Amino acid sequence: MSDFAIKIEGLVKEFGSIRALDGLDLEVKRSSIYGFLGPNGAGKTTTIRILTGTTRPTSGKAHVAGIDVVKNPVAAKSNFGVVSQHINVDADLTVRETMELHGILHGMARKERKERIVEMLEFAQLDDRANSLARTLSGGMKRKLTIVRALMHRPRILFLDEPTTGLDAAARRRMWDLVRSINNDGVTVFLTTHYIEEAEALCDRVGIIHEGALIDEGTPRELIDKLGPFAVDSLENEKTVSNYFDTREEMVAFLEKSGTQDQSRATNLEDLFLKMTGKRVKQ
């Protein structure tokens, strides 16, 4: 069995004269959490749509769990679950009915469905809301429901497309705990996000996509260290300019020499992206 849950080679997707993906190459190890960063329009969602079989590539190859998603999409779909960036639960179904329907659509036997529903709702701490209509749930609870619904058929890979968008800080942190628990059970998580701290907190590796191509990749620490772990923000001509340093001593020397009230801080992944592309991740 391949060490990679996801493997992409030379992936191209064109929409008329627009090239959304431009020869994308990507490998995601099994049982890892992989973060996919980039501004709107960079190609993140297009990549997920191809990997999940909802869009066909113009050219190139994409494999999920070792299965070609173009040649054998049905077999590929049995190996993954998908949580889109928009909450898409039926407001008129109960939590239990939502899970039941997903199990039926994936061909699960009745006994297996009932056992899995109990297991998943307890896992997500939604068991006390099993008979509640989805419309009565909070935003965070609805997001949890979309995630455990996607896990109902025991997929080996989970695609999360901006799963915490619109959640408050507390709900976002609870979602992080859920994602970690899912990964601890051996599920590979492929995560797109606009929140830099989310990628830093959760991901084993991060890929930065820009204009349809992967422009850098590594662990969060490896990527940050390319600039240096220490940063100083200075205001020059009404524009913030950041300088990066390999050691604290270098940073302190810079601050003493400048003789200003410049702000020092830790370097983050957004700094690297901004340095490479001139665009912020969150747009």
Structure confidence at residue 240 (pLDDT): 85
pLDDT score, position 281: 57
pLDDT of residue 282: 53
The domain locations on the chain are 4-218, 228-266
pTM of the model: 0.87
User: What mean pLDDT, rounded, does the chain reach?
Assistant: 91
The per-residue pLDDT for range 73-93, each reduced to its tens digit, is 999 999 999 998 888 999 999
pLDDT higher than 80, residue 5: yes
Q: Is the pLDDT of residue 55 over 70?
A: yes
pLDDT, tens digit, 9 for 90 and up, residues 183-206: 999 999 999 987 888 999 999 999
Q: What percent of the chain has pLDDT above 70?
A: 97
pLDDT at residue 257, as a whole number:
87
The CATH code of domain 4-218 reads 3.40.50.300
pLDDT tens-digit series, residues 118-167: 999 999 999 999 999 999 999 999 999 999 999 999 999 999 998 888 88
Cα(206)–Cα(223) distance, rounded to whole angstroms? Answer: 8
